[in-house]
């Protein structure tokens, strides 16, 4: 869940994670009589632990030498990195996090070490750690307090080095440092001149491109010939374009691959010649943005691009891959969401995401075109019937076509059901088809779930994105109301039993819905959502200063206007009961955002439940916290919508009692 676009850094996984993209940054007391639908098809409650506890195993990555599989799995209830020799069952844990759990890792190109990032209690001041597979010894490569570290690049041609960016010199700016992976020695490589949002290294591990947000919210791309050369402008586009990004260098380092909607509606992939500035269109679609690139892990050859349509759609650019993708498509009714490849490109680890099954991981032997299941993320889910996810579209009140997804309870006629409207975070992101634990959880409890990709959502071109500018409490809000009305007119939803629920921007949308349209919803669940857009912008992390112009462009800059868009100042209009969850250490949406709206509601004697998790940030990373808040949410929804719920465990109830405010 992200309230803003994150920096456009892509964490290239040396094991061959070749899906590269812009990270957009970046998703409940009394049991009332159940509605008639449940008499049609009773279904077991899926335990919260199965949906929201740690996965049994997830995020597998193959080592560059193709011999070892790394993956995440719990040790003593906390996610850590495990490894196994491919073809054997010698699984062993190599990291020993004891609190928040490790959520991402990457192989070094030596196949002997892994890298991962971790923060403290959700403060997002990430540190980069290195763990040796054989000795399991872990080294902190960035041991700096109150400093954020992000991996910029690794390259197979330089297996002993890594580029990391740190805001060590200036909290607002990221400089690039070169780290010797053998000794841990860290040296300044490229200093930020004061306006660079993100950096791009070439395939010789030299920083040669920089992306800047201009004062009006546009984008400027700078490049240089080598590390000793002066920077020069390569290309520029205005604030009306999509949130474009530098993706990579071409294999010969002579061109830059850039995703931008410049001179088009939807974001295209361009190859921009560094010497002449000539732009060549590599891939495009009139409506949908290019979202991902697939490249060969050693040669960096561009092999495919991915468009997020109703489902993920691969456009194969290298004919040599067509047979592989045809073979993979036959394995499951699911979308490929990640491919990890060894450097020889003989073995692939492929991630499949379907809508009504857990995530599956396959080992694919490319020579034989043979695939075998490694494991699924949550095998216990296979005991239950999950719901299908249906792409939908509806017409907003101004005539704009809005896209989204509808999930309804498995085995139940989707007629006259209670409905949960579940807007995504961002807001400059989108929901996609596939397995969503929140949608499955809510559907299992008896609710239809509507996930609208309201205007301002990404992936649908710049007209769709720009239609949301300065519309947080305007058309973006009415898009949700129009989606609600569509569900009622379709006969899916009972107009008297509709709740809105979301995190980050989705939390804001919840507050705005209850404040600006007080009769539209029966209740609301807000997770880390801002209530006052002025105070939100004044308390964002300092390192977001390099793209704050994007906020001003798309949210508004005038304080009176932002006040008019802020639910806090219409809190007296809220009628529906509200449940709020907040992380005490949230660096994006400060705790004061929730404190303010809670105080206003209590001053007006309006019903609000408020839980503050002392060891969380922007969202709930620890499973026990996530499950506890969802236990509260289930009871809350059951009280006001009439669905089913799993009572809180004793541990969940004690935790909730201890953090209730």
Q: Where are the domains of the chain?
A: 19-27+55-381, 384-659
Q: For position 29, what pLDDT does the model report?
A: 23
**209 to each of 41, 195, 202, 215, 275, how far by Cα in Å?**
57, 13, 8, 19, 13
Q: For position 50, what pLDDT does the model report?
A: 97
Fold category of 384-659 in CATH? Rossmann fold (3.40.50)
Backbone angles phi, psi at 221, to 5 degrees: -110, 125
C-beta separation of 211 from 582 below 8 A: no
Tens of pLDDT, residue by residue over 347-391, are 999 999 999 999 999 999 999 999 999 999 999 999 999 999 999
Q: For position 609, what pLDDT does the model report?
A: 98
Going by C-alpha positions, the residue among 124, 127, 105 that lies closest to residue 12 is: 105
Q: For position 638, what pLDDT does the model report?
A: 98
Please give the Cα distance from 139 to 131 (Å, whole number). Answer: 6
Q: Do domains 19-27+55-381 and 384-659 have the same CATH topology?
A: no
Please give the Cα distance from 383 to 371 (Å, whole number). Answer: 24
Q: For position 141, what pLDDT does the model report?
A: 98
What DSSP designation does 385 have? P
Going by C-alpha positions, the residue among 444, 445, 479, 482 that lies closest to residue 464 is: 479
Going by C-alpha positions, the residue among 390, 416, 408, 495 that lies closest to residue 446 is: 408
Going by C-alpha positions, the residue among 630, 639, 634, 629 that lies closest to residue 660 is: 629
Say how far residue 208 (Cα) sits from the centre of its chain: 27
Q: For position 9, what pLDDT does the model report?
A: 27
Q: Which residues of the chain have pLDDT under 70?
A: 1-42
Q: For position 160, what pLDDT does the model report?
A: 97
- The CATH number of 19-27+55-381, from 1.10.10.10, 3.40.50.300, 3.40.50.2300, 2.130.10.120, is 2.130.10.120
Q: For position 11, what pLDDT does the model report?
A: 29
Active site members: 504, 586, 618
| Prediction pTM value | 0.93
Q: For position 26, what pLDDT does the model report?
A: 29
Please give the Cα distance from 446 to 43 (Å, whole number). Answer: 10
């Amino acid at each position: 869940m992200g309230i803003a676009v994150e920096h456009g850094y892509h964490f290239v996984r040396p094991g061959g994670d070749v899906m590269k993209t812009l990270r957009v940054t970046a998703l409940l007391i009394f049991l009332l009589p159940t509605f008639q639908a449940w008499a049609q098809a009773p279904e077991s409650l899926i335990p919260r632990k199965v949906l929201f506890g740690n996965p049994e195993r997830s995020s597998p990555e193959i080592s560059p030498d193709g011999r070892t599989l790394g993956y995440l799995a719990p040790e003593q209830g906390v996610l850590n990195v495990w490894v196994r020799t491919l073809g054997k069952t010698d699984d062993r844990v190599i990291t020993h996090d004891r609190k928040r759990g490790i959520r991402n890792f990457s192989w070094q190109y030596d196949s002997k070490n892994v890298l991962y990032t971790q923060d403290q209690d959700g403060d997002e001041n990430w540190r980069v750690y290195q763990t040796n597979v054989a000795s399991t010894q872990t080294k902190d490569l960035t041991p700096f307090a109150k400093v954020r570290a992000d991996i910029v690049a690794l390259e197979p041609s330089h297996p002993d080095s890594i580029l990391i960016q740190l805001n060590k010199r200036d909290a607002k700016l990221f400089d690039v440092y070169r780290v010797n992976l053998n000794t841990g020695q860290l040296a300044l490589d490229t200093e930020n001149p004061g306006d660079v949002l993100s950096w791009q290294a070439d395939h010789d591990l030299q920083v040669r491109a920089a992306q800047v947000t201009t004062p009006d919210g546009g984008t400027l791309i700078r490049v240089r010939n080598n590390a000793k050369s002066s920077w020069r402008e390569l290309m520029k586009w205005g604030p009306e374009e999509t949130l474009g990004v530098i993706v990579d260098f071409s294999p010969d380092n002579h061109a830059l691959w850039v995703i931008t909607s410049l001179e088009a509606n939807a974001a295209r992939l361009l190859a921009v010649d560094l010497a002449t500035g000539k732009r060549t269109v590599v891939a495009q679609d009139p409506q949908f943005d290019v979202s991902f690139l697939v490249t060969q892990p050693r040669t960096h050859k561009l092999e495919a691009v991915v468009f997020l349509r109703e489902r993920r759609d691969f456009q194969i650019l290298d004919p040599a891959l067509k047979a592989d993708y045809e073979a993979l498509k036959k394995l499951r009714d699911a979308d490929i969401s990640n491919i990890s490849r060894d450097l020889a490109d003989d073995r692939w680890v492929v991630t499949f995401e379907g809508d009504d099954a857990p995530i599956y991981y396959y080992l694919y032997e490319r020579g034989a075109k043979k695939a075998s299941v490694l494991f699924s993320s949550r095998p216990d889910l296979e005991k239950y019937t999950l719901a299908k996810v249906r792409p939908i579209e509806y017409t907003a009140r101004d005539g704009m076509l809005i896209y989204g997804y509808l999930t309804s309870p498995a085995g139940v006629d989707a007629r006259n059901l209670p409905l949960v409207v579940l807007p995504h975070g961002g807001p400059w992101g989108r929901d996609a088809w596939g397995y969503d634990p929140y949608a499955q959880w809510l559907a299992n409890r008896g609710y239809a779930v509507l996930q609208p990709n309201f205007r301002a959502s990404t992936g649908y071109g710049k007209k769709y994105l720009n239609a949301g500018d300065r519309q947080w409490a305007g058309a973006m809000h009415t898009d949700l109301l129009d989606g609600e009305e569509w569900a009622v007119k379709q006969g899916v939803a009972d107009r008297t039993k509709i709740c809105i629920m979301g995190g980050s921007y989705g939390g804001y949308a919840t507050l705005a819905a209850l404040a600006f349209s007080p009769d539209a919803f029966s209740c609301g669940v807000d997770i880390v959502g801002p209530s006052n857009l002025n105070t939100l912008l004044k308390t964002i992390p300092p390192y977001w200063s390099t793209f704050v112009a994007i906020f001003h462009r798309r949210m508004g800059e005038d304080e009176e206007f932002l006040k008019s868009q802020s639910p806090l100042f219409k809190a007296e209009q809220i009628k529906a009961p509200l449940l709020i969850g907040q992380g005490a250490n949230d660096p994006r949406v400060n705790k004061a955002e929730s404190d303010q709206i809670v105080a206003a509601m209590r001053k007006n004697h309006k019903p609000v439940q408020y839980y503050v998790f002392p060891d969380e940030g922007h969202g709930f990373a620890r499973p026990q916290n996530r499950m506890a808040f969802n236990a509260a949410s289930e009871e809350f929804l059951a009280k006001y919508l009439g669905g089913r719920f799993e009572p809180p465990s004793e541990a969940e109830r004690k935790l909730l009692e201890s953090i209730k405010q």
